Structure 1
Amino acid sequence: MSFPSGRGGRTGRGSRVRAALGQLRHPPEFRVPPPFLGTGQADWVAGVLADAGTATDEPAPAGADAGTLLAAATGIWRAQRKLDQRAGELSAADLRQVRRYVQAGRQALADGGLEIQEHDGAPFDPGQSLEVLAFQDEPGLTQEVVLETLRPSVYYRGERIQMGQVVVGRPAPGPTHGM
């Protein structure tokens, strides 16, 4: 599979060298890092994106493709949550770079029709299509609320392909007044 480089179809080391040297014109904080994928991986991703770009409104992919997309979506979601939780442990530059990678991955999935939905803080209704793993009494709550999303809901072109798993907080029982 061959992909043109945008300069008359030429690909190869010369265009990579020009791209790398072109980055030196910019201050270090504005330079784009080289891709973290190898040549074979980049070709595979380009092929998948090309296929996604020519896809019609078909149902969710079946078999290993759906499992791969779900694993990618859930993995990106978990990585983003971990980054948000441990932001103080990374350097500011590393944190920004990893966040950009995660956001780019999420955007690529969204552009392909895959939506990742988190439920933290949302009011809970028993009729919702969520798998509740635990209910937890929480003082101060006035209604049932999702305290934590353990696995996000994932939708492909509007159709749910993964049910979210959550922990729900409910108002703690108050003192009973005897008559």
Structure 2
Amino acid sequence: MSVPSGRRGRSGRGSRVRAALGQLRHPPEFRVPPPFLDTGQADWVAHVLADVGTATEEPAPGGADTGTLLAAATGIWRAQRKLNQRVGEPSAADLRQVRRYVQAGRQALADGGLEIQEHDGAPFDPGQSLEVLAFQDEPGLTHEVVLETLRPSVYYRGERIQMGQVVVGRPAPGPTHGM
């Protein structure tokens, strides 16, 4: 029995149910398992891979294109950071494999002279060559610390080609007395 054409495309839920039920016709060893990533995760991975693919195309004649290297470095850094946040999910084994691929790509960039520097947790000094996007009062801090790196510092053969962007935590002001 076919579904009338007016009902197709309304919801992907019906097609998923039909696909799951269709798998029951086959012996267990021939059933296709559901994908290990949900739609949002699959879209995110496709987007990151497209960014990395664009960034790793043939370099311009005469040397490496700095913009391409920056895009590759930042894309790989963001992908690795995102994957590190997803460790506890059920598909952790698959994500570990993807993390290894990203680490191998990052190592290849390092072997080519590109260093990606993250600043999370590092003490902050106003003389540092970092772009501070925000200061945030944090109780319990005794000195200024980088809370989050929003864009890493990137060095190519020892020369900075991208300044890092960070959020800095500073000691929260104590309660004022004598009001």
Aligning the two structures, in what range does the TM-score lie when normalised by the shorter sequence? 0.5 to 0.7
Structure 1 residue 176 displacement after superposition? 2.4
Which range moves more in the overlay, 4-13 or 138-147?
4-13
Structure 1 residue 108 displacement after superposition? 0.2
**Residue pair 1:109, 1:115 contacting (<8 A) in 2 also:** yes
Q: Structure 1 residues 38, 72: closer, same or farther in 2, change over 3 A?
A: farther
Structure 1 residue 89 displacement after superposition? 2.5
Q: How does 1:13-92 map to 2 (within 5 A)?
A: 65-89=65-89, 91-92=91-92
Q: Structure 1 residues 78, 176: closer, same or farther in 2, change over 3 A?
A: same
Which range moves more in the overlay, 32-41 or 18-27?
18-27
Structure 1 residue 30 displacement after superposition? 23
Q: Which runs of 5+ in 1 are unaligned?
A: none
Structure 1 residue 19 displacement after superposition? 34
Q: Structure 1 residues 95, 66: closer, same or farther in 2, change over 3 A?
A: same
Give the share of equivalent positions with the same residue, in percent. Answer: 93
Provide Cα deviations, 1:57-84, integer angstroms capped at 9, x if missing partner: 9999999811010000000000010001
Q: Structure 1 residues 143, 41: closer, same or farther in 2, change over 3 A?
A: closer
Distance in 2, Cα, partners of 1:8 & 1:111? 51
Provide Cα deviations, 1:31-65, integer angstroms capped at 9, x if missing partner: 99999999999999999999999999999999981
Which range moves more in the overlay, 51-60 or 2-11?
2-11
Provide Cα deviations, 1:119-147, integer angstroms capped at 9, x if missing partner: 00000000000000000000000000000
Distance in 1, Cα, partners of 2:147 & 2:128? 15
**Residue pair 2:36, 2:91 contacting (<8 A) in 1 also:** no
Which range moves more in the overlay, 34-43 or 104-113?
34-43
Structure 1 residue 178 displacement after superposition? 3.2
**Residue pair 2:56, 2:72 contacting (<8 A) in 1 also:** no
Which range moves more in the overlay, 154-163 or 168-177?
168-177
TM-score (norm 1): 0.64
**Residue pair 2:136, 2:169 contacting (<8 A) in 1 also:** yes
1:142 partner SS: coil
Structure 1 residue 99 displacement after superposition? 1.0
Distance in 2, Cα, partners of 1:4 & 1:59? 51
Q: Runs in 1 of length 4+ with deviation above 6 angstroms?
A: 1-64
Structure 1 residue 175 displacement after superposition? 1.3
C-alpha RMSD of matched pairs (Å)? 12.4
2:88 partner SS: helix
